[in-house]
Copies of this chain bind each other. A is one copy, B any other.
Amino acid sequence: MKTIYVNETNYKEIIKNLNSRKEDFLSDIDYTVLKIINDIKEKGDKALLYYTKCFDKAELKELKVKDEEIKEALEIVDDKFISIIEEAKKNIYDYHLKTLQSSWMIFKNDGIMLGQKVTPIERIGIYVPGGKAAYPSTVLMNAVPAKIAGVKSIALASPPDENGKINPYILAAAKICDIDEIYKIGGAQAIAALSYGTESIEPVNKITGPGNIFVARAKALVYGKVDIDMIAGPSEICIIADDSANPKFIAADMLSQAEHDENAASILITTSTKIAAEVIENIKIQKENLSRRNIIEKSIENMCLILISDNLKTSFDICNEIAPEHLEIMVENPFEKLPLVKNAGAVFLGKYSPEPLGDYFAGPNHTLPTSGTAKFSSALNVESFMKKCSIIFYDENNLKKVQDKIAYFAEKEGLDGHANSIKVRFEDGKSN
């Protein structure tokens, strides 16, 4: 944990390395991942079963989860959890439904129609990590917007444990989200199978969901063949606080970020040296009672930063340069600062909007841009599962009026075939 005094002239240098935590292209990992992808492309299910045995230690006969297994899982998961998932699902549904876009059309000059036909992507794959980090919330955050978009066919992939079982909480969440097609596959081999298909798995058009470095690199390498949501880096939080903030809350929220990953970043930007000192103290106290203390301590050592800034405006400038995945604003009148927020995945306003509220429950998506990519990208949303086809109609009269202009433009670009396509329609005065 480092404490640094920052001002508007030195901050860019200080945070420069913060967003270069992602893996580079053409690393050794890429070659391993590329071999796995090629094996799946060539040998299909056989290679898939082989890698599942290698990496997940599971000897499977069938890759697809059976109805009985889903029923079993629903019996294991307690009713309280089911009802919480259902409530969270409703919140996620209500929020995302607001962003569903419609096809539209405009009419011009009594003979021109232009518009967009908005349609769902036909088939998607959701990747859900297994093992120690089995997150049923991932299922909700990916499946709900896809369902709202109207995606017809969803395949969920998650690695099995040594007994060949997928985590029952993941299966329960999948059932609640009406996903019936679930495969016991993980890692780069799962991404390859979803992208290229095998004997038993139909290929998808887009893959979403988080994963370890092998999953992330596999997604980067299949991008183009299929679409992907993003190449996610480690998680991060930025908290902007003035002296009205509660250091206990800040410490707790930084710790909740730190427990994700040794490379997860927790950054406090504050105008108050008093708050800074109290947060450091509170982090020390609170971390003692947390089960993932080992990860937390490494994460704090590596990626925890406390920046003491001159003024609130500079705090926001710094934050916009970091472009954090999560931003908590714990100052007086946090809403009045919203105009200053330019680059962030999600912003949590005030003392009672901690980040875990957004991870599980409030409604907005928890799949957010990391490593500074909030400068140019957004949370997973309904649009992520739709695409837009432009619609163009001109009647004869309207094309005739502009034929010379289009032909002239085309000829200036050296494309007389394009000009010909216009001219041929009118060369006999009025062609059919």
Contact = CB atoms under 8 A, between A and B. Distances in A.
A363 B424 CA distance: 22
A121 interface: yes
Contact of A376 (B136, B227, B292, B392): B227
A294 interface: no
B374 A378 contact: no
Nearest to A366: B390
Contacts of A260: 415
Given A227-B373, A246-B431, A378-B388, A356 B410 contact: yes
B360 A409 contact: yes
Interface string A19-39: 000100110001000100000
Contact of A412 (B81, B220, B342, B391): B81
A200 interface: no
A115 to B, nearest CB: 8
A314 interface: no
Size range of the chain A interface in the assembly? 35 or more
A354 interface: yes
Interface string A134-154: 111100000000000000000
Interface stretch (A43-51, A62-70, A251-259, A271-279): A251-259
A309 interface: no
Contacts of A335: 393
B80 A408 contact: yes
**In the complex, which of the residues A104, A227, A258, A402 has the most CB atoms of chain B within 10 Å of its own CB atom?**
A402
A315 B389 CA distance: 18
A165 interface: no
A361 B260 CA distance: 51
B389 A345 contact: yes
Given A364-B392, A392-B362, A374 B387 contact: yes
B256 A417 contact: yes
Interface stretch (A1-9, A53-61, A185-193, A283-291): A283-291
Interface of A: 22, 25-26, 30, 34, 80-81, 84-85, 87-88, 94-95, 98-99, 104, 106, 112-114, 116-117, 119, 121-122, 132-137, 169, 205-206, 220-221, 223-224, 226-227, 231, 246, 248-249, 252-253, 255-256, 258-260, 286, 289-292, 296, 334-335, 338, 341-365, 368-369, 373-379, 381, 383, 387-396, 398-400, 402, 405-406, 408-410, 412-422, 424-425, 431-432
* Nearest 8 A/B pairs, CB to CB: A259-B417, A364-B390, A227-B376, A346-B390, A356-B418, A378-B388, A256-B421, A252-B424
Given A81-B409, A169-B412, A358-B390, 20 more contacts: A119-B342, A133-B414, A136-B413, A205-B376, A226-B376, A248-B431, A249-B425, A256-B415, A291-B416, A349-B391, A351-B432, A353-B394, A354-B399, A356-B415, A361-B405, A361-B409, A378-B387, A379-B388, A381-B388, A383-B383
